[in-house]
Structure formats: structure tokens, C-alpha cells
Copies of this chain bind each other. A is one copy, B any other.
Amino acid sequence: MDLSGVYPALTTPFAADGSVSLSDLKYNIERYNSTGLAGYVVLGSTGESVLLSRTEMDGILAAVKEAAGQGKRLIAGTGAESTAETIERTKRAAEFGYHLALVKTPHYYKPAYKPDVLIAHYRRVADASPIPVLLYSVPIFTGVTLEAPEVAVLSEHPNIVGIKESSGHVMRVAEMVAAAPADFQVLTGSAPTLLAGMMVGAKGAILALASALPEKCVELFELVHAGQIEKARELQNVLLRVSKVVASEHAIAGVKFTMDQRGYRGGIPRLPLVPLSEAYKQRIVESLAGLQPLVARA
């Protein structure tokens, strides 16, 4: 299974009454279907999965499966704090027809989650999972980091096929690529380091920014893939600047607002996350000024 390409970390749209809007979600997917995105990632950090109920998760799994275009790879975030619930969610995603499970590190009991504890956790999940597993390290949210040595150990498990590495440190990507077998696939979760990450061996990316600017992220991937480094660097610099504003400390709200600006249905996040201030919206609008609108407003 070749995971090359760009995947958006999908946002979860909410209706005016605060409930999940599956129709807005499908609306977005239908538009994404015509881009070069390699597939979709639901129920990740960008999807506000930690703010959703199990019922809402099921609705999202079903809606994206239904709306996704042919050939799009489907990845479901299934990491929970307990090993048992992670396995349960993973099986559920498999039942819904998802191709891979993206399993973030457990993180609440940080001091206890030493490499050997994490290795044991992931092995149990991978043993029990009907579908291949992607590790997921996102220290900015979890405070827990997977490093190359434990990733190398886990890469030997036949049902663990890769990792989403979202620390933003290109050196970690390089270390993982160097330490794991050639068929272990590293995807970066950091738009500002897509070029650099691919140069050291990342196969692609899972990006929040690709929910708002899918065609730009795909274009960057393809430029790098084609070895057009000069052009890639120019576009990377544009996305670096945009990403700094959009995916800052206001990450979810920023990406959703940017989606609104680009013809998708973003909306506002769920509490305790709050909408952007008007001043911050203005900063985003300005950062987007140079980009061609690629999707007609609906």
C-alpha cells in the first residue's frame, strides 16, 4: 500500500445548533474529490475528535465513506487514551470500510508513557486491528513524542505501516526514515516542512492546511516529487507564511475560517475552542491575498 501524496486532516463542520453537520462535511468532500488529494483523514486532531461523542464519530465515519470519490484512501483517527477503547474504535473504523487507522499516542499519564509502554500499547492495537495501523506523534497537543528508536522497533510489526510525524522537526523524519525498513512510510503532519520532509524521505503529508488549500498542498507535493526544487521552494515559502498565520495557536478555528474564505464549509469550532477575533480573521485574509481562489464560492 503506497501512501504517497497529500491527505487533508478533515475538519468537522458544526450546524448552527452545535450538532455535527454531515451535509456540510459531504459538501466539502465532494469538492475535494476533484482535487489531487490522495485520500481523507477523519477524526484526527483537526477534526476535533476529542470533542465528539461516539455517535457523532460514527456519523462522520459513514458520511465521509459515502461521499469519498473512487480511489481516495480513507484513514480514520482511532487513538483513545485506553488501549481497549483504541482497539474498539479501530475495529469500528474497519467495519465502516476505512483502509487505515491513525493511532495517536496515549498522553494523559505522560510521565508513565515511556517508550516501552508505548511500544506495548501499539503492539496490542496492531495485533487486534483488522486494518493497517499508522502511528501518530503530535507532541504539540499530547506532550508525548515518538522518537526514531521506538518507531524503528514498531516498524517491524507487520500491521504497522507508517507514521504521521507532526512534531515539525525534519530531523525526526530523517531519523525515522533512516532507522526503519524501506517499506515503512513516514508522512509529515507539518505543512511548513513538506518540502524538507520529502527531501529526507517522507512519502507525503497529512495536513490541516490541505482542508483549506488542497490544490496548493498537492501542487507543492507534485513539484517536489518531480524534482522541481526551485519552484517548490517558492511555493513552500508561500505556504510557510500562510501556515504560520492559519495554523497558529488558533489552529482549528484558523483552518475553518480559511476554508470559509476558499469556498468550503468551515464554520466555527466547538467549545471550549472559540471563534477567531475579527482582527485575527483580517490577518488570515491578508495572508491569503496572493493566492488564486481555486474553488468558486457556493
Contacts and interface: CB of A to CB of B under 8 A. Distances in A.
Contacts of A199: 195-196, 199, 229, 233
Contacts of A236: 174, 200
A143 interface: yes
A31 interface: no
A250 B116 CA distance: 13
B274 A120 contact: yes
Interface string A253-288: 100000000000000001111100000000000000
Interface string A75-119: 000000111110000000000000000000010111111100110
Interface string A36-59: 000000000100001101000000
A157 interface: no
Contacts of A171: 168-170, 190, 192-193, 196, 240
Contact of A272 (B111, B120, B201, B252): B120
The bracket for how many chain A residues form the interface is: 35 or more
Q: How many chain copies does the complex carry?
A: 4
Nearest to A105: B272
Contact of A110 (B114, B121, B140, B190): B140
Contacts of A193: 170-171, 174
Contacts of A45: 108-109
A141 B109 contact: yes
Interface in A115-137: 117-118, 120-121, 124
A237 interface: yes
Contacts of A174: 192-193, 195-196, 236-237, 240
A273 B178 contact: no
A62 interface: no
A175 interface: yes
Contacts of A190: 171
26 contacts: A45-B108, A50-B81, A50-B82, A82-B272, A109-B252, A110-B143, A112-B251, A112-B253, A114-B249, A117-B272, A117-B274, A124-B271, A143-B143, A168-B171, A170-B170, A171-B193, A171-B240, A174-B193, A174-B236, A174-B237, A175-B244, A178-B241, A195-B199, A196-B200, A200-B233, A227-B229
